[in-house]
Amino acid sequence: MSGMSAGYFHETLAGAGTEFWVNNPSLSEIEMALSAGAVGVASNPNYINALLKTEPDFVPATVRDVLARCEDDDDERLAMQVIRKTVSRPLGIFHPKYEETGGRYGHVAIQGNPRRNDDPDAMLAEAEGFRALGENIIIKQPATVAGIQVLEELTARGWSTIGTMSFSVDQYIAAAEAHRRGLRRTTKKPRCLITMLPGMFDEYLAEDAARRGVTVSPEVLCQAGITTARAAYKVSRERRYEAVILAGGARSSSHWTELVGDGMAITLSGALAKKLIDAKPPVVNRIEASAPQDAIQELRDLFPDLVRACDVGTLAPEEFRSYGPVVRFQNSLLGGIGTIIKEIEAARAERSEKL
């Protein structure tokens, strides 16, 4: 273990209190991340899309195995079986870390069927099934009215959670308050991490600018998502929430280096993690830094959704589900399920041809 402590992400956790979670990893990336200091694995219904690029043989083999074992002919349910089987691989690999740290680290995330994201009863039932996968599973719920309701209930049962699809301070507050209410209903201390998604937020604003004919420089635009995560962090410290901010959707190294700080968690793809390991940038606490004020003011002037992301009380709970970046992410997750269903249909057709 002493030899591992010199790794970059070990140093960042020990020196700056920042957790590294690897996102949608291949087998080699799971093993690399674990040895490099990752404390957990993030995933969502786009995991299969990622694996089609990094491990193309794994996906059809997994689908064939699910079809062989399950008599169910409902493609959505079969797609979720593919996700469960895929997530089970890192679940076992990270379980020793879960045991070594008394359940603080070593979690592997799973997210339910996005087609059920507006049905709290369905999400709760799905979460109950996920718990059977292993004690180190951590269950993702969307930071919407329906998802936050389920997050509170899971917390009250002592189950660790991730509030996902959160792009705004108001979403973070609502989910953190739900986690706190859940903690009051249990003697256990389940973890809760709530996303802010700087890379995805930047992409959303770039698309918004193109739609509206707004001109903004890349140098200014790249400050937007980082600024939203810093705004949420400020509130989390002021209110002393138990829920940790999980910065996800990283698109560049800056989405790591600019958000390093005490009590932060950040997800990275295997490729981006490897890039940081090779570069080994200085471990500097930057979460409480700020972009130049003229850049922030320009963003606020140009993008109402930046204001709604950063300012407390500007996004009502009933608006969470229809908030632009949330809709964009939801559509992406629907596409992820669609990809799995297409793989199932292809495997079924191939099997029929052989009969």
CA–CA gap between residue 328 and residue 181 (Å, rounded): 29
Q: What is the pLDDT of residue 3?
A: 35
The percent of the chain in helix, strand and coil, each rounded to the nearest 5, is 60, 10, 30
Question: What band does 6 get if pLDDT is binned at 50, 70 and 90?
Answer: low
Task: Reply yes or no on whether the pLDDT at 4 is more than 60.
Answer: no
Spatial CB neighbours of 138, under 8 Å, sequence gap ≥ 6: 40, 107, 108, 109, 110, 160, 161, 162, 191, 193
Task: Reply yes or no on whether the pLDDT at 51 is more than 50.
Answer: yes
pLDDT digits over 312-347, tens only? 999 999 999 999 999 999 999 999 999 999 999 999
Averaged pLDDT for residues 253-270 = 98
CA–CA gap between residue 164 and residue 64 (Å, rounded): 30
Task: Reply yes or no on whether the pLDDT at 245 is more than 70.
Answer: yes
Residue appearing with tokens 């950063």: 310
Element housing 247 (H / E)? strand 244-247
pLDDT digits over 289-313, tens only? 999 999 999 999 999 999 999 999 9
**Pair 113, 337: CB distance under 8 Å:** yes
The count of structural domains within the chain is 1
pTM: 0.96
Q: What is the pLDDT of residue 354?
A: 76
Share of the chain above pLDDT 90, in %: 95
pLDDT digits over 67-94, tens only? 999 988 899 999 999 999 999 999 999 9
Q: Which domain holds residue 259?
A: 4-354
Task: Reply yes or no on whether the pLDDT at 228 is more than 70.
Answer: yes
Q: What is the pLDDT of residue 119?
A: 98
- Per DSSP, the residues of 37-60 read T--EEE--TTHHHHHHHH-TTHHH
In order of 81, 123, 162, 263, 312, the CA distances from 44 in angstroms are 13, 14, 11, 23, 28
Q: What is the pLDDT of residue 72?
A: 87
pLDDT digits over 21-32, tens only? 999 999 999 999
Q: What is the dihedral of CA 145, 151, 152, 156, to 10 degrees?
A: 160
- How many CA atoms, within 13 angstroms, populate the side-chain half-sphere of residue 40? 29
The backbone torsions φ and ψ at residue 23, rounded to the nearest 5 degrees and listed phi first, read -110, 130
Q: Chain-wide mean pLDDT for the chain?
A: 96
Q: Report CA 328 to chain centroid distance, whole Å.
A: 15
pLDDT digits over 131-150, tens only? 999 999 999 999 999 999 99
End-to-end CA distance of the chain: 53
CATH number of domain containing 152: 3.20.20.70
Take residue 47 and report the two structure tokens written for it. Answer: 């995991």
